Amino acid sequence: MISFASYISKFGSRLVPVACCFLIISAAAAAAKTPQLSNSQARKLIAKMAGMELPGGSVRVKTISAGGDGSAEVAGEIKTIFKFEKDSTGRWRVTELRVGPDRWLRITHIANALNTKIPVDDCSAPDPPFRGSQAIDPSAKRSRCLLASLLGVELPSDSVRIQEVSPFAVPMGSQPSAIVTALITVNARIVHQGTEPRVSELRTGNRDWVQLEPLVASIDREKQEQARGELAWMAEALEKFRKDKGFYIVSDSQAVAIDHLSPKYLPRVIRIDPWQRPYKYQGERHRFTLRSLGADGKDGTADDIELAGPSR
């Protein structure tokens, strides 16, 4: 009888090619189980990541590289629209990011969710007086500097490119504002959950990777706190109205209620909640209900935020 050691000694050299072929076939089979990501799929996933609704042409994919865990890392460029506002000291700030048609996200919500501060950079300093023809304010150079500081991009860099700056007139008493369209270089990590891929992480500039699901949940918590505060302001205004008139505003329209309250009882007009949807109001002479539909936008669900009166 041939011992196992003798068998290996006699036939081992012949087994090596067989083992190598087996490993190659196994690796190929494992790779085949991981769906390949096309440029078109990557564009659609990035355009819809974290609840965003960007136009299809706003995302350009540069490269896609496969990760060892079945994920894919996409390097690309997103056409992004920001709102800038000038404060009372003459400094410009990036205040909002457009995430869909008529949907804007406050930069402060993102910063608070990430537990970070919005950077204050020298490029936000007031401009010296212009000579000659009137210049665009904010300038493309200043807009690029502010966005680079916000996104962790070290200039000079092509990671932030300004496409258009559109200042617009505002009513007297309001701060000047502008819409800035920029091309932003990003890295997105895409993972597969079963057969459905999704963008799990995002990175800009020299920032760390940001996990999107916890970020979205944290932003929603920020919005919930904002909604509760705004509902409380409206309820306080309604109490002042009742104190003067002897009754609450009778209506099923929040817009009608605000028209009665502003500006005497409510100096700041509040019509939409942090999810860019109208607040709800139901008022009778002796009671009222104020409500936000919350993140899901559906009436009567667990994330509704409600405040009913009399509040005292």
> Tell me, what CATH number does 285's domain have?
3.30.700.10
Give a yes or no: residue 213 inside a domain.
Answer: no
> Which one has a higher pLDDT value, 216 or 69?
216
Residue environment code for 185-216, b if the CB has 16+ CB neighbours within 10 A, otherwise e? bbbbbbebeeeebebbbbbbbeeeebebeebe
Same domain, 165 and 304: no
Please say whether the beta carbons of 64 and 224 come within 8 A: no
Place of tokens 């410009």: 92
Same domain assignment for residues 136 and 43: yes
Distance, CA of 232 to CA of 311 (rounded, Å) = 9
Does one domain contain both 145 and 59?
A: yes
180, 208, 236 — which closes off a domain? Answer: 208
Same domain for 75 and 93: yes
Checking if the pLDDT of 137 tops 90, the result is no
Domain of 159?
A: 39-208
Residue range 171-182, pLDDT digits in tens: 545 678 999 999
Q: Which of 10-14, 67-71, 117-121, 259-263 has the highest mean pLDDT?
A: 259-263
pLDDT of residue 140 exceeding 70: yes
Q: Are residues 175 and 287 in the same domain?
A: no
Q: Are residues 263 and 168 in the same domain?
A: no
Q: What is the mean pLDDT of residues 106-129?
A: 81
Domain-located, residue 181: yes
- Comparing 37-46, 80-89, 162-171, 241-250, the range with the smallest average pLDDT is 162-171
For 220-236, what is the mean pLDDT?
95
Domain check: are 84 and 192 in the same one? yes
Question: pTM for the whole thing?
Answer: 0.79
Is residue 19's pLDDT more than 50? Answer: no
